[in-house]
Amino acid sequence: MPRRRPGALRAARRLRGRRPPSWAYDTGPLDRLSPGTSAAIRYAEHGDHGHDVSPGRTEDFLRRYRAFLRRPGAKLWLTASECPACPGCRYEDVAVVRDALQAVLCVLPPRPRAELRGHLARLDAEFRRRTRPDPDPRHWADWSGEPYPWWHRRLYEGG
């Protein structure tokens, strides 16, 4: 079995921990995140990772998630999107917004991912505290039996 040369291993390590380019630091930090994590998010948004991870979307998703948690009342009900297939309307459902934030987590390097994960953990704790779990197990998985993430297994209005 051929071995990789030490120089090739060092080069791969340098690329993996690469800092975002200077343009990613030009605007201010995102939603209480450090400048380094904000730059890593902006850099990842310019990659080819799908429509959830595109330029400027993460800031919008964090704003929508916080807006949902700032709604008045002790308990909150999730609201389903009227048109879930529409690219703009689908984000009216906070569970879809949380899916998009999870997609952003998956494309970040380790340090920014850990910081964003900690930030989301605090928001998720508030989300769990203020929403009710869905007691109907039929709503816990999709048609293939794959379980939905926990944030989809909360009660919706009229449900």
Amino acid present at 42: R
Question: Per-domain residue ranges for the chain?
Answer: 34-131
Give the predicted TM-score (pTM) of the model: 0.84
Which whole-number Å values give the CA distances from 148 to 67, 93, 111, 144, 153, in the listed order? Answer: 23, 15, 27, 11, 7
Would you write out the chain's pLDDT as a tens digit for each of its 159 residues?
Answer: 556 666 655 544 543 556 788 888 888 888 899 999 999 999 999 887 777 888 989 999 999 999 999 999 999 999 998 888 887 789 999 999 999 999 999 999 999 999 999 999 999 999 999 999 999 888 788 888 889 999 999 999 876
Orientation of helix 110-130 relative to helix 57-69, angle to 10°: 30
